[in-house]
C-alpha cells in the first residue's frame, strides 16, 4: 500500500519533526509506481511549503538570500526615482525626468542605467514614518535595521554605543532562524560599519542574541574616499596554514570534543559565549575554502567588474552577488561614505546638484543596475530579495531646516514623511510602482509603507513569520518586528 505522508508532523505536537518511522515504512511500496523515497519526501516537502504559503501569503519563503543595499545618509527621492513636474521651483529637482523600460515608471536623468532595469524591479514611492525622536541618522538607522526604536535617544537623535542589550540586526535574526545550508559565512556586512558621528556599528550587531550571530565584518583598510578598498580584502583567517591539512584539522576538532566532554565545569563557565558555534563555523569555513574563493574578485572578468563600477560601492555589490552564489544567506552593503560629510555622501545639506550628479548618483546607477541585471541573467534573482533603501529621504523644499541642520539653497534636509525604496527578486512584482506620493513628494498619497513593514516583508520573503519570538537578555519574549508583510508587493 502506498501512502504519501501529509504535512510535516500533522499528527504530533511538534511541527519541527519530519516523517515518522511509520511514514517511511508505508512508502516502501512506492518504487512500484516509479517513485523513489527521495521523490516521495520531496513531494512531502512541497506539500508543506504550499501549506505554509497558504497561511502566510504569497511567495512566503521564496527567497534563499537577501541583499540589503543600505543607502545610509538618506538619498533625495525627488532627485532620483520620484520626479515631479508643475511644482514650485524650490521643490522641483534640477534634474530632468527620463522614461524607463516600463512606460510611466519614470526616473530622473541621474539613473539612466537603472531605467533600463525597471522591468525587473518595484519602486515603493510611499515609504513613510512619523519621526518621534527619529529625525537624525543614528536613531533612524536603528529602526530600519532592528524594527525597534532605541530606549535612549538624545535631542540630537544620537544613541549610546552598541551594547549586548540592543535589538539584533535583521540579518542576525535571519541566520538564527535560517542558517546557511552549506559551509559558508551566514551574514556578511561591508565595506564599513554603520556609523554616524562617533556612534559606530549601532544596530550592526546581534545584540541580545549573542555574538555567535554577529555578521562577518568585511571592512577593508582605507578611508571613505578610497575607491579601491575592495582590492585590499584580506581573508587570511579563512584559509588553512600550509602545514595544517584538513585531516589534521579534523583530528584537532575531535580531540577538542574529547577534552570538553571531561570538563563540564569549563563548558558551563563559557556556555553564554557560544564558543561551540564559533568553533564549528570556523572549522567548516576553513576546511571547505568556499568563503575564501567567493571573496576572490579577480575571478571576475574586467568587463563584469567595469559594469558594476570600479569603486568601493560597485565592487561591494559584485562581491555580494558572489557571496549569494556561494551560499551566504544575508549580505548588507552599506553606502561607503558616512553621513554628516561631503563628497559622495547622500547627506546632501549643501551642494546637492554637483555632488548628486558627479559623485553619488553615478555610483548608485551603475552598481544597482548591474546587480539587478546580472543576478537576473544568472537566475539568481528568482531566489534572492534585493532591497535598496535609506533611513529617510530629503525635504521637498530646498534650503529649509527640518532637523536642526543648516542647509544651503542647493541642499535638502532630512525627510522621513515620504521617500522611496527599490525592491526586486524573490517574487516581487516586476515593473511595478507601489504606493504614490503627493504632488510634491511630501507625503504618501496612497499605500504608505512603514520601514518596519518593509522589514516584515523581508522576513516573509525568506520564510520567517515576522512576528516570530526571540528572547532578549532578560529572557523576555520579543517579536522580530511588530508589523505585517506588504504582500501586495509580490506579483
pLDDT for 24 equals 39
Count the Cβ atoms, other than its own, within 10 Å of residue 87: 15
pLDDT for 151 equals 75
C-alpha count within 13 angstroms, C-beta hemisphere, residue 245:
3
* CA of residue 291 relative to chain centroid, distance: 19
Please calculate the CA angle 423-142-477 and round it to the nearest 5 degrees.
Answer: 100
Q: What is the mean pLDDT of residues 11-34?
A: 44
* CA of residue 37 relative to chain centroid, distance: 37
CATH of domain 63-232+310-489: 3.40.720.10
Q: What is the mean pLDDT of residues 196-224?
A: 93
CA distances from 35 to 3, 30, 40 (A): 12, 5, 7
pLDDT tens per residue across span 328-354: 999 999 999 998 779 999 999 999 999
- Averaged confidence pLDDT in the chain: 84
Q: Which residues contact 52 (CB under 8 A, 6 or more apart)?
A: 60, 61, 463
**pLDDT(301) > 50:** yes
pLDDT for 39 equals 63
Say what percent of the chain tops pLDDT 70.
76
pLDDT for 152 equals 72
pLDDT for 475 equals 94
The answer to whether 333 touches 68, Cβ cutoff 8 Å, is yes
Model confidence at 12, pLDDT cuts 50, 70, 90, reads very low
pLDDT tens per residue across span 86-118: 999 999 999 999 999 999 999 999 999 999 999
Q: What is the mean pLDDT of residues 213-242?
A: 84
pLDDT for 142 equals 93
Enumerate the domain spans of the chain.
63-232+310-489, 236-295
Q: What is the mean pLDDT of residues 444-467?
A: 98
Question: Nearest CA to 367 among 172, 113, 99?
Answer: 113
pTM: 0.83
The answer to whether 398 touches 407, Cβ cutoff 8 Å, is yes
Amino acid at each position: 500500500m502506498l501512502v504519501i505522508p501529509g504535512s510535516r508532523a500533522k499528527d504530533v505536537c511538534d511541527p519541527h519533526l519530519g516523517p515518522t518511522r511509520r511514514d517511511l515504512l508505508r512508502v516502501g511500496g512506492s518504487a512500484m509506481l516509479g517513485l523513489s523515497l527521495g521523490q516521495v519526501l520531496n513531494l512531502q516537502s512541497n506539500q508543506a511549503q504550499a501549506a505554509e504559503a497558504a497561511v502566510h501569503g504569497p511567495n512566503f519563503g521564496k527567497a534563499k538570500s537577501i541583499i540589503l543595499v543600505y543607502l545610509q545618509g538618506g538619498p533625495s527621492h525627488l532627485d532620483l526615482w520620484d520626479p515631479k513636474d508643475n511644482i514650485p521651483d524650490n521643490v522641483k529637482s534640477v534634474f530632468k525626468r527620463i522614461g524607463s523600460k516600463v512606460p510611466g515608471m519614470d526616473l530622473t536623468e541621474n539613473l539612466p542605467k537603472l531605467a533600463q532595469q525597471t522591468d525587473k524591479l518595484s519602486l515603493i514611492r510611499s515609504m513613510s514614518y512619523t519621526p518621534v525622536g527619529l529625525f537624525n541618522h543614528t536613531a533612524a538607522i536603528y529602526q530600519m535595521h532592528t524594527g525597534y526604536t532605541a530606549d535612549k535617544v538624545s535631542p540630537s537623535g544620537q544613541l549610546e554605543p552598541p551594547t549586548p542589550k540592543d535589538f539584533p540586526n535583521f540579518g542576525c535574526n535571519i541566520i538564527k532562524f535560517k542558517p546557511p545550508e552549506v559551509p559558508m559565512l551566514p551574514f556578511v556586512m561591508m565595506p564599513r560599519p554603520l556609523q554616524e558621528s562617533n556612534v559606530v556599528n549601532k544596530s550592526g550587531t546581534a545584540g541580545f542574541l549573542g555574538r555567535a550571530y554577529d555578521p562577518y565584518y568585511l571592512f577593508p583598510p582605507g578611508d571613505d574616499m578610497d575607491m579601491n578598498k575592495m582590492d585590499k580584502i584580506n581573508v587570511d583567517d579563512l584559509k588553512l596554514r600550509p602545514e595544517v591539512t584538513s585531516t589534521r584539522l579534523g583530528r584537532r576538532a575531535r580531540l577538542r570534543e574529547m577534552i570538553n566532554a571531561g570538563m563540564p565545569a569549563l563548558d558551563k563557565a563559557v556556555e553564554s559565549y557560544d564558543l561551540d558555534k564559533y568553533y564549528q563555523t570556523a572549522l567548516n569555513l576553513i576546511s571547505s575554502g568556499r568563503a575564501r574563493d567567493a571573496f576572490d574578485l579577480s575571478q571576475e572578468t574586467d568587463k563584469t567588474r567595469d559594469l558594476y563600477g570600479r569603486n568601493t560601492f560597485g565592487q561591494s555589490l559584485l562581491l555580494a552577488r558572489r557571496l549569494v552564489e556561494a551560499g551566504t544567506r544575508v549580505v548588507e552593503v552599506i553606502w561607503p561614505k558616512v553621513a554628516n560629510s561631503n563628497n559622495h555622501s547622500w547627506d546632501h545639506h549643501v551642494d546637492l546638484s554637483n555632488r548628486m550628479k558627479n559623485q553619488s548618483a553615478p555610483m548608485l546607477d551603475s552598481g544597482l543596475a548591474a546587480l539587478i541585471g546580472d543576478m537576473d541573467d544568472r537566475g539568481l534573482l528568482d531566489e534572492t530579495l534585493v532591497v535598496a533603501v535609506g533611513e529617510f529621504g530629503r525635504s521637498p523644499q530646498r534650503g529649509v531646516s527640518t532637523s536642526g541642520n543648516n542647509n544651503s539653497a542647493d541642499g535638502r534636509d532630512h525627510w522621513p514623511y515620504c521617500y522611496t525604496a527599490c525592491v526586486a527578486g524573490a517574487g516581487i512584482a516586476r515593473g511595478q510602482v507601489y504606493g504614490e506620493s503627493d504632488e510634491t513628494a511630501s507625503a504618501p498619497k496612497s499605500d504608505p509603507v512603514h520601514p518596519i513593514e518593509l522589514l516584515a516583508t523581508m522576513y516573509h520573503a525568506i520564510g520567517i513569520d515576522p512576528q516570530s519570538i526571540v528572547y532578549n537578555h532578560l529572557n523576555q519574549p520579543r517579536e522580530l518586528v511588530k508589523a505585517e508583510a506588504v504582500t501586495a508587493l509580490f506579483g
